[in-house]
Amino acid sequence: MDSATPGILILAAGKGSRYIASGGSGNKLLASINDDAPTVIETVIEQAKLSGLPVALVTRPDYLAMRQHAVKAGVQLVLCESGGSGESIAAGVAMTAHWNGWIITLGDMPWLTVDHYRQVKEALEKGAAQVRLTYKGKPGHPVGFAGRYAETLRNLQGDEGARALLDPRLLVTLEADAAVQRDLDVVAKPR
């Protein structure tokens, strides 16, 4: 893939503490939304790959099933003993330094589609420094950063993620649908 292209970084190294606190059990990314559906992480990877962009999955070394899904799908695997989403992003950006921008998404958002990723990609390719999809004016995912943020993203720590980097003077917000805010922690538990 051309190094002038942004890529999609899927964060899948969390411990799922909010999900477990709300009554879920096991690794939520290995669950299915419906009885006959693929797992959550398979759905997320598939939609990301359909964008035509490079894709990398950040997960923990001991999440063997997650690693297998990445290998099976043919996406880059980044292993990280993450203490939070900031550390996951930092590890992912460090391993994808050849990309010219990062579209950061969460592994527990299987309702995001290829069109959501393409919206962020197109805004980055038109020169936006930062891009975020929104719904009814409220923030959602994915979030995109231009290549010039590489060093800053590589230095993230903790669980704050990249929120602190978002600058209202630079941030391009694109109105989308409710899927950009929907994750497994705020919907009925998957099976």
List the chain domain ranges: 7-181
Computed from CA positions of residues 120, 112, 24, 59, in that sequence, does the dihedral angle turn out positive or negative? negative
The predicted structure's pLDDT at residue 191: 41
* Secondary structure element (H or E) that encloses residue 105, with its range: strand 102-106
From residue 81, give the alpha-carbon distance in Å to each of 45, 60, 92, 97: 21, 5, 12, 19
Q: Are 93 and 144 in contact (CB under 8 A)?
A: no
Q: Which CATH superfamily is domain 7-181 in?
A: Spore Coat Polysaccharide Biosynthesis Protein SpsA; Chain A (3.90.550.10)
The predicted structure's pLDDT at residue 115: 97
CB atoms under 10 Å from CB of 122, counted, come to 13
Comparing C-alpha atoms, which of 74, 141, 73 is closest to residue 107? 141
The predicted structure's pLDDT at residue 22: 54
Global pTM reads 0.89
Comparing C-alpha atoms, which of 9, 2, 150 is closest to residue 78? 9
The predicted structure's pLDDT at residue 25: 53
Q: How many CA atoms lie within 13 A of 145 on its CB side?
A: 24
Long-range (24+ apart) CB contacts under 8 A made by 60-65 are 60/13, 63/12, 63/13, 63/27, 65/27, 65/30
Q: Consecutive 10-residue runs of the chain (191 residues): their mean pLDDT?
A: 80 67 63 78 96 97 94 96 91 96 95 97 97 96 97 91 92 96 64 41
